[in-house]
Amino acid sequence: MTKTTLNAEVPQVWDPFIRLFHWSLVLVFLISQVTAERFDEIHEYAGYVIFGLISLRVVWGLIGPENARFRSFWPSPRAVRAHLGEVIRGKHTPTVGHNPAGGAMILALLATLLLAGLTGYTGQTDQFWGIEWIEETHEFFGNLSLILVGVHVTAVVLMSLIEKRNLIRAMVTGRYTAQSAASQD
């Protein structure tokens, strides 16, 4: 369904699990960022929750509905370049679900958050406690995830404007509005 262009009433795009996962991850990510270097215990628990959420998302990416499955939005570098070129040239055709750049961003965010969590956990073990390169690697992935989140939010806002449909609302309701979908004909 990801490759389908919009034409009329669009069925549910994001299932309840994806929406709950997304907004839970947003909340816990914000908590982890606010508590970093100030409230270690809260930051650590937030990391565990993020790791758990991503683990559930990986399972859902294998067994969930079509738009949730990784295979439905796993892009090739060529597809990402082609999509970005179409957007720049104003020739972009909206699709149901993730476009190639959006799919790449989701994979990058999940991987970066997972690596931040793994290095954060590793740095708390007896074997790696206080080892500087582990702490620096954790901080690197934490900062990279913050940058990727900024790019993600910016891209969602830009694509909402370009496509004239509220992509944030779709992540709340699970559907594109009939009005915004119909405007794409």
Q: What is the pTM of this model?
A: 0.81
Domains of the chain plus CATH, in order, are: 16-182 (1.20.950.20)
- Amino acid identity for residue 153 in this structure: V
pLDDT tens sequence across 96-116: 888 899 999 999 999 999 999
Count CB neighbours of 34 within 10 A. Answer: 12
Burial letters 40-75, b for 16+ CB under 10 A, else e: eeebbebbebbbebbeebeebbeebeebbebebbbb
pLDDT tens sequence across 16-54: 999 999 999 999 999 999 998 888 889 889 999 999 999
Q: Is the pLDDT score of 183 beyond 50?
A: no
CB 97 within 8 A of CB 67: yes
State residue 40's pLDDT score. 83
State residue 63's pLDDT score. 94
CB 70 within 8 A of CB 110: no
CB 116 within 8 A of CB 138: yes
